[in-house]
Amino acid sequence: MLAEMFSIAPANKDHHPALRCAVGVFVPLFILVLLGRLDLAIFASFGAFTGIYGRGEPHGIRFALQLRAGLLMLLVILLAALAARMEAAWGLDVPTTTWLLVLATTVVAGACSVAISWLRLRPAGSLFHIFAFAAIASIPNQPALWQGMLVSVLTTGFCLLIGFSSRVLPSHRTPWARPRPIRRTPDEKRAAWLEGFGYLVAAGLAGALATWAGERLGFGHNYWAMVAAVVPLVGHTTRHRVRRGIQRIIGTVLGLVILAGIVLLGLQPWQTVLVMALCQFGAEMFIIRQYLLAQVFVTPLALISTLLVVPSAPGILLRDRIIETVIGAAVGIAVVLAPGAWRRVRQRTTTA
């Protein structure tokens, strides 16, 4: 298992989707820098997640898959922005608001997992949707709703254009075929609901544990634990899933070292956006081939995007990230191992 954790699969034109994703992040964020509206950066960042889907598909199928993924992400962004406004309107205290956000994010985790499975999108799971909903709903000073949604819609549309832009080159052109109609077997439906339940349990447990511990030990960003908790749920075998959880922790630690160096450079906003694009490129280059290495790029990307919108002490962010990641990954691994442990206990009970 140790050798597998640090091995890397051969390349398969990964620079193509990596470049598309990097451009999809850089251009909208750079425009916001020029406009002096970095308060809208988080809406562009999550809208750009559209470009992550359908990476190896022909142009027509990629467009259809990215359109589905983009519409689902736009719905999540809208619900998050509305949730933030509801919290402010109700005038609830901080602990109550925090627990309600954990509950809402847990529902999003389960529902979006089922939706992603139903729509047959890859990457699988609701990791991005958990991150988007909780991050946006946690912003204390929300921009105008129409502005945030406009930025998200325009970024999504831009990523759709990038997705089939290579059709202008005859050497890269693929047939414009539509994906086959989705017909789900009873087994597929059952698997989708079971997977959604797993995401619900993992995200809910991690969020509750991180919130409870954070209230007593003084750290925040509990949704990072929820994101980390669902990472081990993706994989074909228990061994692979456990390995992903451990890789998440190791990659996060290494990524935090890189982030510390980036923070010390004192970059200008446009330089920060360029670093984000480079991190997005690196993440997409290795996300399929070597998950640990991809996390080295994902960690600074996620934290820099947080710093752009809600400036805070970098040291606190680094501390929260590693603590929340360890909590979440541990919960996710426990959820993966629980069914097998339960079966063994039942077998022993039956035998006895």
Per-residue pLDDT in tens (0 to 9) along the chain, 352 residues: 556 666 777 777 788 889 999 999 999 999 999 999 989 999 999 999 999 998 888 888 889 999 999 999 999 999 999 999 987 778 777 888 889 999 999 999 999 999 999 888 988 889 999 999 999 998 888 899 999 999 999 999 999 999 888 777 666 667 777 767 777 778 888 888 989 999 999 999 999 999 999 888 888 788 899 999 999 888 778 888 888 888 888 888 898 889 888 888 888 888 999 999 999 999 999 888 888 899 999 988 988 887 777 777 777 878 888 899 899 999 999 998 888 777 777 777 776 6
Peptide bond into 300 cis (omega under 30): no
pTM score, whole prediction:
0.91
Rounded Cα–Cα distance for residues 286 and 267 (Å):
25
- What is the structure's pLDDT at 338? 85
* Structural contact between residues 113 and 195, judged by C-beta atoms closer than 8 angstroms: yes
Asked whether the beta carbons of 102 and 23 are under 8 A apart, the reply is: no
Identify the pLDDT of residue 101: 94
pLDDT at 169: 64
